[in-house]
Structures are given as C-alpha cells and as structure tokens.
Amino acid sequence: MVMYQNGMGARRLRELPADEALRLLAGVPFGRIVFTRHALPAIRPVNHVVVDGAIVIRSSPGTILSSHLSSYVEPVEAVVAYEADDLDGYERLGWSVIITGVARLVAEPGEAARLRDLLTPWVAGEMEQVIRIQPEIVTGFELVPVAVTA
Amino acid sequence: MVMYQNGMGARRLRELPADEALRLLAGVPFGRIVFTRHALPAIRPVNHVVVDGAIVIRSSPGTILSSHLSSYVEPVEAVVAYEADDLDGYERLGWSVIITGVARLVAEPGEAARLRDLLTPWVAGEMEQVIRIQPEIVTGFELVPVAVTA
C-alpha cells in the first residue's frame, strides 16, 4: 500500500522539463532578478512578460544595467539569474523555476516601445529601461509528497 | 479630494524600517538565498527560521558553502543576499525584504543540533548543513497605491 504524507510531511523535488518550466514562469506576473551590484549579490522582485522565449522586464537605469551603451562604468549586458515560483509555505507544495542567461538592454527605440506596450511597471516612474533576458540554462522543480510504503 | 487607484493602478514603494522588515521576514516560512556559484549568480528557495536576529537555513554541503572548514576549494563563509516576500501579483500589493550579510557554516555540534531541532527541511535527505546568515544590510519595501488628487 502506498500512502502520501500530507501536512508537514517530507517532500521530494521533481525536476521540471525546460519547456514546462518556461511555461510556468510565463504564467505568473512577476519574479526576481538576481544580479551583482558593487560586487555583492543582489535581488529585486520585478514584474515580467515572456516574449519570443525571452523574459522581458523593466528597470531603473543604473540598477541592473547601465543606461548608456557607451558606459565604461556599468555593464550594458550582464549574466543574471531570474527566479519565479508559486510555493505554498504551509502546505509545502508548489514549484520554482530558475533561469540563468544574459540580460541585455533593448536599445532599438521601436522594439523598446513595442515591449513597453506589453509591460507596464507596477511602480510609477523611473522604470524606463527595457531589459531582455535570453535564457541559457532553465531549471525548475516541483515539490511533491514523498510516497511512503506501509 | 484624495482617491486611491485600485486594481491595475500605479504603486509606489514605501520603505520599511529595518526592524519591521526583519519581523515580516521572520513571520513567513521561506525565502530565497542568493549566492555566487561557479562565478554565476545563483538563487534557491529555502525554508528558514530567525533565531537571535539571524536567519538560519539548511542546505546540502557544497551548494552554498563547503562542508569542510579546511576547504580550499569552496568557501566556508560567503556574502549572500536573502529575500522573502508576500506579493500579490494580481492586486500588485504586498512587501519584499532583502537582507545582505555573511553566511557561515554552524560548525559547533551542539549549536548545529539545537538549530536542526528548530528547522526541518522541506525536502527529504541531504540537507545536513546548518547555515547562519548574520544580517548586515536590511532593506524592505511595501507596495502602496499612489494617491491621486482629483
């Protein structure tokens, strides 16, 4: 007989295929961008859309990427991680998706305008920068109950 | 007359005092640890407890910190960020707290055992390492509706 522990029972991680992971991420309105700032690990919650397989976010110039393509001070592209999840901390169920990829400023004005129309920042003002993250590594897991044979 | 936009209205960020931010983080069962792995930004959801003002998590040896205090390959302490939030992506309300600090392996067996009793990992097996994160920078914000004067 196979029983499933519930409530506070143990969980195992079921690995999600990359396409399922991307679909889950695309189905939620926000995630968390992970980057390096002043040589320290940094993270910010941000809303997103997925367009043509890439994650699109908006940011204030100088936070994640420089506002100037010619900048020598701040990068105009950077390796970042992006995480989204839907986890129930009380039931201990849900999923998390983590993407690693290169974040690049969308500099072409027509393309930036098109993406701005698809993505209104939650926070008023100063989120003028449009950033596209091209996924290179996609990992995801689902928390599933551990089957107990009794 | 002052009105508040609701639904998809704009939000502003209200900065949270450090003590309120830590209290919010302590009141939720999990967050996300942000670290550097193989020179890349990395993030993992993990459950936590707050003990004596420090965040305590469990991890698999070699993921965030080395399992060996004498290791030359992996660090036994590292600067990390830790984020927890309670954000409603549809109402666009909620809070996020971000802590930057030093993560250190709890090596003393009695102290490690005491903390293990306070924190059961969600995922079965292999989470033997106890890590304490001492907050150095605590930031937090709350999303609040933008007041519109009409």
ipTM of the complex: 0.88
Q: Can you give the CATH number for the domain in which B64 is found?
A: 2.30.110.10
pLDDT for residue B5:
40
Among candidates B34, B85, B124 on the partner chain, residue whose Cβ is nearest the Cβ of A45: B85
Distance from CA of A120 to the nearest CA of B (A): 9
pLDDT for residue B70:
56
How far is Cα A41 from Cα A133, in angstroms, rounded to an integer? 18
Half-sphere exposure of A89 (CA within 13 A, CB side): 16
Where residue B90 falls among pLDDT bands split at 50, 70, 90? confident
Q: Which two tokens stand for residue A2?
A: 């196979």
Higher pLDDT, B38 or A84: A84
pLDDT for residue A27 is more than 50: yes
Residue A95: strand, helix, or coil? strand
With CB atoms and an 8 Å threshold, state whether A41 touches B40. no
With CB atoms and an 8 Å threshold, state whether A40 touches B81. yes
The residue in chain B having the minimum alpha-carbon distance to the alpha carbon of residue A9 is: B122
Enclosing domain of residue B41: 2-149
The residue in chain B having the minimum alpha-carbon distance to the alpha carbon of residue A6 is: B122
pLDDT for residue A103 is more than 60: yes
User: Tell me, what amino acid is at A28?
Assistant: V
Residue A133: strand, helix, or coil? strand
Instruction: Please report, rounded to a whole number, the percentage of residues in chain A having pLDDT higher than 90.
Output: 67
Strand B129-145 relative to strand B11-15, pairing:
antiparallel
pLDDT for residue A5:
40
How far is Cα B136 from Cα B55, in angstroms, rounded to an integer? 11
Apex A80 CA angle, A78 and A86, nearest 5: 155
Residues from A contacting B (CB-CB < 8 Å) are 8, 10-13, 28-30, 32, 34-36, 40-45, 47, 79-81, 83, 85, 87, 89-90, 92, 96, 98, 100, 120, 122-124, 143, 146
Range of weakest confidence among B6-10, B48-52, B138-142: B6-10
Instruction: Please report, rounded to a whole number, the percentage of residues in chain A having pLDDT higher than 70.
Output: 87
* Count of domains forming chain B: 1
pLDDT for residue B80 is more than 70: yes
pLDDT for residue B1:
37
pLDDT for residue A2:
39
pLDDT for residue A114 is more than 50: yes
Calculate mean pLDDT across residues B57-64: 90
Substitution target in A12, A14, A16, A32 with the highest count of B β-carbons within 10 Å is A32
Distance from CA of A107 to the nearest CA of B (A): 24
